[in-house]
Amino acid sequence: MLNVAVSGRDVFDAFKGTLNFVFRRNARLSAGFTIIFCLLLIAVLAPVIAPYDASTVGLHLLDRPPSFEHLLGTDTLGRDVFDQLIHGLRQSLIIGIFTGLAGLLVGTTVGIISGYKGGWVDDLLKSVTDVFLVIPTIPLLVVLSAFVRYMTVPYMVVILAIFAWPFPARTFRSLVLSYRKREYINMAKLSGLSDMKIVFKEVLPNMLPYVSTTLANTISAAIMAAVFLELLGLGPQNTITLGTMVYWAMERAALIRGLLWWVFPPMIVIVLIFIGLQLINIGLDEVFNPRLRRGVTA
């Protein structure tokens, strides 16, 4: 037992060093992080900020422009746009984060197993991943969504997750293949570490930056696909999401009738989510790659 503690302390101590190193350095990363953090905060506090029930129809007067009482005005069905926006953000983030996490978990496991194990396991998993990557996801998503009679958020997460894992799987497979050849993995083998320990103690810690960038990618891909389906009218019927807001606005020809306060806010928030995630992605990339290069003293 004692010996495990000795090297376990290493992992904790190393984490501390990496974290404070990361946030001191990069403006883009902190910018991206603040955007996403604020959006998450709003989503979590949604019931407090927007207490009215956003989805019931006819509560308020129709087509009211933004006023003190309705910050973002109301829509043709008499619903407060600001409430919809807040609850829509919450649902969209829920879809994005859960799908992203599911895709990441399945993807990294498949990627690491096939990358580290090699042999027929690798061939099998790699061909399955390749088939998924080649088959066009959008048309199949549309067909599958049509399959669900009454679409809800959980269903959407499941359908999107089916196509969320191949990309991280391929990324992590190539990462593990490259990290496996590093000399310090041989050093670990020479120290009698088991395969499991090598993967979790030696390979994974170095791949942390890639885990976070891939998570940012899978979440933004999931939200992109969700909004796509919602704009086709295949989104969840019972709950408001950012995508369904835009869909209902388009159904009611909000653009032509000039109800800009109904159409543009959800679009802006969606784009804000993507920009936040991309800034985090680029920030992490810059922080971790040069470090690896700078790691070699002159």
Partner 1 sequence: MRNRTESKMDNAVLEVKNLTKVFGSSPAALEDFSMTLFDDKPMITAIAGESGSGKTTLARLILDFIRPSSGEIFWRGRNIHKMSKKGLMAYRRECQAVFQDPYSVFNPFYRADHVFNMAISGFKLARSRAEATRMKEEALEVVGLRPEEILSKYPHQLSGGQRQRIIVARAFMLKPRLIVADEPVSMIDASLRAQILEIMLKLKEDFGISFLFITHDLSTAYQISDRIYMLYRGSVAETGDATGVINDPQHPYTQLLISSIPTPDPSAKWQEEVEVSVEEEMGKGDRVGCKFYSRCPHATQICNESHPPLYPVGDGHQASCYLYRELKRDK
Partner 2 sequence: MSPLSSTYMRYIGRKLIPYIITVFVAITANFFIPRLIPGDPITVMLSRMSLSGASTADGAEIVEAYKKQFGLDGSWLTQYKNYILNLFQGDLGPSIMAFPMTVHEILMTAIPWTIGLLVVATVISWVLGNLLGVLIGWRRESKTNSVILYLSLCLNQVPYYFIALILVFFLAYTLPIFPTTGAYSVIGTQYEGLRLVVDIVYHATLPALSIIISFIGYWIITMRSLIITTLGEDYILLAEAKGLKRSVILSKYAFRNALLPQTAALGMQLGFVLNGSILLEIIFNYPGIGALLFLAIGNVDYNLMQGILLLTVLSVLSANLILEMVYPLIDPRISHGGD
By CB under 8 A, residue 245 contacts partner 2: no
C-alpha–C-alpha distance, residues 101 and 52, integer Å = 30
- Please give the single-letter amino acid code of residue 152: T
Tokens 């996403």 belong to 36
Per CB under 8 A, the list member of 101, 197, 232, 291 interacting with partner 2 is 232
Residue 106 touches partner 2, criterion: CB under 8 A: no
Stretch that binds partner 2, among 12-20, 53-61, 99-107, 270-278 (CB under 8 A): 270-278
CA distance 227 to 243: 5
How many whole angstroms separate alpha carbon 221 and alpha carbon 219?
5
Residues that bind partner 1 (CB under 8 A): 2-7, 10-11, 13-14, 17-18, 182-184, 186-193, 201-202, 205-206, 292, 294-297
Q: Does 138 bind partner 2 (CB under 8 A)?
A: yes
Contacts of 158 (CB under 8 A, 6+ apart): none
Give start and end residues of each alpha helix (H) in the chain: 2-25, 27-44, 46-49, 81-117, 119-134, 137-147, 153-162, 166-180, 183-190, 195-197, 204-231, 242-251, 260-294
Least distance (Å) from partner 2 to the CB of residue 231? 6
Helices 242-251 and 81-117: crossing angle in degrees, nearest 10, is: 130
Which CB, 164 or 204, lies closer to partner 2?
164
Identify which of residues 40 and 105 has a Cβ nearer to partner 2 in the complex: 40
Q: Is 298 helix (H, G, I), strand (E, B) or coil?
A: coil
Q: Give which of partner 2, partner 1, none residue 196 binds (C-beta under 5 to 8 Å, depending on kind).
A: none
User: Could you give the string, one character per residue 184-223, with x where binding to partner 2 holds by CB under 8 A and - elsewhere?
Assistant: ------------------------------------x---
Q: Which residues contact 212 (CB under 8 A, 6 or more apart)?
A: 280, 284
Q: Which does 27 bind (CB under 5 to 8 A by kind): partner 1, partner 2, none?
A: none
- Chosen from partner 2, partner 1, none, partner binding at 295 (C-beta under 5 to 8 Å by type): partner 1
113: left (phi over 0), alpha (psi -120 to 50) or beta: alpha
CB of residue 111 to partner 1, shortest distance in Å = 19
Which residue lies nearer to partner 1 by CB, 21 or 23? 21
Helix (H, G, I), strand (E, B) or coil at 80: strand
Tokens 């969606």 appear where? 270
Footprint of partner 2 on residues 107-136 (CB under 8 A)?
127, 130-131, 134-136
CB atoms within 10 A of CB 14: 11
Partner interacting with residue 146 (select from partner 1, partner 2, none; CB below 5-8 Å by kind): partner 2
Residues that bind partner 2 (CB under 8 A): 127, 130-131, 134-140, 142-144, 146-147, 149, 220, 224, 227-228, 231-232, 246, 250, 255-256, 263, 267, 270-271, 274-275, 278-279, 282
